[in-house]
Structure 1
Amino acid sequence: MIELIRTNDPVVISYIEALLRDADIAHFVADQNMSILEGSIGVLPRRVLVTEDDATRARRLLKDAGFGGEMRLD
């Protein structure tokens, strides 16, 4: 899987999930349950992942939505 975005902001994660879901792009939010370990203070970032097959389309979608500067390049 390819990491698109890494952020501590739950609103950004929710918005990106909605964009990907509406575009029928399968995705996974990694580290979502780490809040149990950190005490829900938002220190550990969550990562939005997509398959390699969907990465180009997902990157284009997020860039068009204004998240181009926040996307992971590797």
Structure 2
Amino acid sequence: MEELLRTTDPTIIPWATAILQGEGIETFEFDVHMSVLDGSMGILPRRLMVASRDLYLARAILKDNDIPTGK
């Protein structure tokens, strides 16, 4: 698995996941329950992961939808 996206914005991960799943790309979210450690303040970023074989296509799809991947 490769990191596609890292963000503290709670709206970007579900949006990106929906777009990618619509294109047939499986995603997995890391650090979902880390808010327990930061007191639900949202200061710890969550990561969206994809299979290595899908990374290039997933980045292109997110770029086309104006979702920054940071890479």
Q: Normalized against structure 1, the TM-score is what?
A: 0.87
Let me know the Cα RMSD of the aligned residues: 1.1
**Secondary structure of the corresponding residue to residue 29 of structure 2:** strand
Measured in 2, the distance between the counterparts of 1:21 and 1:35 equals 25
Given residue 19 of structure 1, which amino acid in structure 2 is its aligned partner?
A: I
Measured in 2, the distance between the counterparts of 1:57 and 1:50 equals 10
Is contact 1:3-1:72 (8 Å) kept? no
Structure 2 unaligned blocks of 5 or more = none
Is contact 1:7-1:45 (8 Å) kept? yes
Is 1:71–2:48 an aligned residue pair? no
Number of aligned positions between the proteins? 71
**Secondary structure of the corresponding residue to residue 3 of structure 2:** strand
Which 4+ residue blocks in structure 1 deviate beyond 4 angstroms?
A: none
**Secondary structure of the corresponding residue to residue 56 of structure 1:** helix
Which structure shows the bigger proportion of residues in helix conformation? 1
1:3 positional shift:
0.8
Is 1:41–2:63 an aligned residue pair? no
Structure 1 unaligned blocks of 5 or more = none
In percent, how many aligned pairs have the same letter?
42
Measured in 2, the distance between the counterparts of 1:35 and 1:23 equals 29
